[in-house]
Amino acid sequence: MQTKPFRIGTRGSPLALAQAHETRDRLIAAHGLPSEMFEIVVLSTMGDRITDRSLSEIGGKGLFTQELEDMLISGGLDFAVHSSKDMPTKLPTGLFLSAYLPREDARDAFIGRTAKKLMDLPRGATIGSSSLRRQALIKRLRPDINVVTYRGLVDTRLRKLAEGQVDATLLAFAGLKRLGKADVPTEILDPDLFPPAPAQGAICIESRVADDRINSLLEAINDPRTHETVTCERAFLAALDGSCRTPIAGYALSDGETIRFTGMILTPDGSDYFRVSAEGKSTETEKIGTKAGEDIRLEAGPDFFLSWT
């Protein structure tokens, strides 16, 4: 019988803490355990500490996970809670994504200061975004727009916007909703025109492969449809060797029997892009995503990827 609290690893941002608390609350409800049986352990990652450069410059997605994974491997944590879109496609040996919470809205939110909609911004306006995917999609739709690197916590980015440092910014709508800021966006972007990042809006839990006791605990809060769709999207990303250095979008939907996936790859300046669609049984979700990635890579041809290096 468990006597010590389960140790939940998380980053220290308000959004990361909200996600860790949601995970804890779902486990309490699922197992009838008291809150004292869960301890939230906050760790600072390199991605949190370096905020003056884009992720593509300083190493990519692993910057938000390494410290948590190191402690998970050493046994200092029982499991770790992450934003799924921050997770590299290759995890350390012995770790895996064991559970996903029900997915929030995966769309991107536009927050405009000088215009309420992206397409209504004046020519030459400036948008702040740290995401290469968002930068490329903005430039595809509005090549006249100036896009600048723009990192920091959600409140920091909103403060910079209010101060007039940029005319607009984009954030994940899911994160704003989890922070109680669903009224902040001035436009929710159509995923057909502005497709989200693979795994956007989904909270995942990382644990040790061989830890049956913890994985059994987490199984009770795993959402099967989110697991299916995010697995498909991450397989697409892996087939393209995707990271924060590459503009890749992908989104899957599941009805429990069928998976429908749409993906896109872009050049960083948004001038060239390719789309792919795929469909299949939800029992073959990883194969569907992998094949979609292979198909779009073949269609784009090797020269397309020179802009990614």
Catalytic site residues? 86
Residues in the chain: 309
Give the whole-angstrom CA distance, residue 166 versus residue 150: 9
Give the whole-angstrom CA distance, residue 208 versus residue 191: 34
User: CA angle 67-176-131, nearest 5°?
Assistant: 60
Phi/psi at 127 (5° precision): -115, 135
* Eight-class DSSP state of 233: H
Give the whole-angstrom CA distance, residue 111 versus residue 258: 34
Looking at residue 116, its amino acid is K
CA 217 to chain centre: 24
Instruction: Tell me if 208 sits within 8 A of 266, measured CB to CB.
Output: no
- Region of 42 on the Ramachandran plot (φ > 0 left; ψ -120 to 50 alpha; else beta): beta
Phi/psi at 151 (5° precision): -115, 175
* Listed residue (103, 94, 88, 5) closest to 45, CA to CA: 88
Sheet holding 79-83, edge to edge: 38-42, 6-10, 79-83, 203-208, 95-100
Token output for 181: 């800021």
Instruction: Tell me if 65 sits within 8 A of 88, measured CB to CB.
Output: yes
Instruction: Supply the angle between the helices 154-162 and 14-31 in degrees, to the nearest 10.
Output: 140
